[in-house]
């Protein structure tokens, strides 16, 4: 067998996906991070119209100009970021945008500061670029929030970048404004990049979202339509960076993807221009589910932070067999260790499932894993 490249040998397949192989088809899925809502009707109609209009040819590498113009308006209105359509690249989901950042700017010897725990793709992308991870522990006593003071301690001459993700996958933590601003200031003072993954920006409860690009020019802001508009399978995202950074990112995008799908771009345009009622309904429902799952887990003795955003909770569950036993009983979850060493002793549960299914899942856990309590 032909040997794989060294850069792929240390990469493991997603533990999130592995969970599907050990469960029965009737299990309640609290493992996957995907809204259980349908794409809003106005967005569907825009995409259908795109197909009927034979809008199926290449777009500019950076994406349709009208979509990029709408994204510029969104950044100004929602994030206080002033940018230009030429500094926007429409991507195949935020995942492609993340990979582009790693390939364009990280090389052997570069250190990337990474919250621990954090989304497992971050570590993989850094490793594929031959970078070195510098973890910063996000502690449960701080509600898993990344603190600027902890980041500052990790900065050295080899620090090339930091990845921020607020609201966070897997913890649901929302960073405080002062920490985001302080890290933005640090990026300017120490000349390192901030890769800010803001894909869960709209799914936030009783808090306000802040973008580091409001205070620093050394920021690449990643976002997309998958979570907010339930467009996961349509693979459509975008990034914003200054002109110099954007030119380097475009090299990776151009030779890897060429352009994002035309139909998805038309849907994304309608998502931004159209009514936001369905988004507001979805967020209200997620908050209701969050309240349920946190309450039930705490009642069962699993200490759980009242997550302020995204659609995940990260209860403290030190039973090493919990995930496997839960799967056998009919509830899919994900081991916290998949998200970094600081995730050990925790389990990620997604409440992107119906209220009734979450209630059933909690009943199953309570009835079948009584010895798993802390």
CB 222, CB 95: distance < 8 Å: no
Residues 219 and 356 in one domain: no
Q: Is residue 167 part of a domain?
A: yes
Q: What CATH number corresponds to the domain at position 343?
A: 3.90.1150.10
Residues 153 and 263 in one domain: yes
Residue closest to 219 by CA, chosen among 185, 251, 250: 185
pLDDT of 372 reads 47
Residues 175 and 210 sit within 8 Å (Cβ to Cβ): yes
Q: Which residues pair with 219 in a beta bridge?
A: 194
In a domain, 98, yes or no: yes
Could you tell me the CATH number of the domain that includes residue 208?
Answer: 3.40.640.10
Mark which of 273, 289, 308 sits at the end of a domain.
Answer: 273
Residues 164 and 135 in one domain: yes
Instruction: Decide if 215 is inside a domain.
Output: yes
pLDDT of residue 4: 79
Do both 34 and 45 map to the same domain?
Answer: no
In the chain, the N- to C-terminal Cα span, in Å, equals 47
Tell me, letter by letter, the H, E, C secondary structure of 95-142: HHHHHHHHHHHCCCCCEEEEEECCCHHHHHHHHHCCCEEEEEECCHHH
- Would you say residue 1 lies in a domain? no
Dist. CA 265–CA 355, nearest whole Å: 32
Would residue 94 count as lying in a domain?
Answer: yes
Check whether residue 124 and residue 264 sit in a common domain: yes
Indicate whether 131 belongs to any domain. yes
Out of 273, 301, 316, pick the residue that ends a domain.
Answer: 273
Spatial CA neighbour of 269 closest among 88, 68, 78: 68
User: Are residue 246 and residue 316 in the same domain, yes or no?
Assistant: no
pTM above 0.85, yes or no: yes
* 332 part of a folded domain: yes
Does 282 lie in the same domain as 265? no
User: Whole domain around residue 62: which residue ranges?
Assistant: 41-273
151 and 180 share one domain: yes
Residue 79 shares a structural domain with residue 34: no
Verify that 25 and 47 share a domain, yes or no.
no
Does residue 92 belong to any structural domain of this protein?
Answer: yes
Write down which residue in 256, 273, 290 finishes a domain.
Answer: 273
Give the integer Cα–Cα distance in Å for 108 and 327: 39
- Residue numbers of the chain with a pLDDT score lower than 70: 13-24, 371-374
pLDDT at 15: 58
Residues 237 and 318 in one domain: no
- The count of domains in the chain is 2
Kind of pairing, strands 312-313 and 347-350? antiparallel
Q: Residues 190, 243: one domain?
A: yes
Determine how many CB atoms are found less than 10 A away from the CB of residue 51.
Answer: 12
């Amino acid at each position: 067998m032909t040997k794989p490249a060294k850069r792929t040998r240390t990469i493991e397949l997603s533990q999130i996906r592995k969970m599907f192989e050990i469960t029965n088809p009737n299990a309640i899925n609290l493992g996957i991070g995907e809204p259980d809502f349908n794409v809003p009707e106005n967005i569907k109609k825009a995409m259908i119209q795109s197909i009927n209009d034979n809008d199926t040819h290449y777009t500019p590498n950076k994406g349709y100009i009208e979509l990029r113009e709408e994204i510029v308006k969104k950044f100004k209105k929602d994030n206080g970021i002033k940018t230009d359509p030429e500094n926007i690249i429409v991507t195949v989901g935020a995942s492609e945008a993340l990979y582009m950042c790693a390939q364009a700017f990280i090389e052997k010897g570069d250190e990337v500061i990474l919250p621990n725990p954090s989304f497992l793709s971050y570590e993989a992308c850094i490793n594929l670029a031959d970078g070195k991870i510098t973890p910063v522990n996000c502690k449960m006593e701080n509600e898993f929030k990344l603190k600027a003071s902890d980041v500052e301690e990790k900065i050295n001459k080899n620090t090339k970048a930091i990845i921020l993700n607020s609201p966070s996958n897997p913890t649901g933590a929302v960073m405080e404004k002062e920490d985001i601003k302080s890290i933005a200031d640090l990026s300017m003072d120490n000349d390192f990049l901030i890769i800010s993954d803001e894909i869960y920006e709209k799914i936030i409860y009783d808090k306000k979202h802040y973008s580091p690009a409001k205070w620093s020019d050394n920021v690449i802001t990643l976002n997309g339509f998958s979570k907010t508009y339930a467009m996961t399978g349509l693979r459509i995202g975008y990034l914003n960076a200054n002109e110099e950074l954007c030119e380097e990112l475009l090299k990776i995008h151009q030779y890897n993807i060429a352009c994002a799908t035309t139909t998805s771009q038309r849907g994304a345009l309608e998502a931004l221009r159209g009514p936001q009622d369905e988004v507001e309904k979805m967020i209200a429902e997620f908050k209701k589910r969050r309240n349920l799952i946190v309450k039930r887990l705490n009642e069962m003795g699993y200490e759980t932070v009242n997550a302020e955003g995204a659609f995940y909770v990260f209860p403290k569950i030190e039973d090493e067999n919990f995930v496997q036993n839960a799967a056998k009983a009919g509830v899919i979850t994900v081991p916290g260790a998949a998200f970094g060493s600081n995730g050990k002793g925790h389990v990620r549960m997604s409440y992107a499932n119906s209220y009734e299914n979450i209630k059933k899942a909690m009943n199953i856990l309570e009835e079948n894993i009584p010895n798993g309590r802390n």
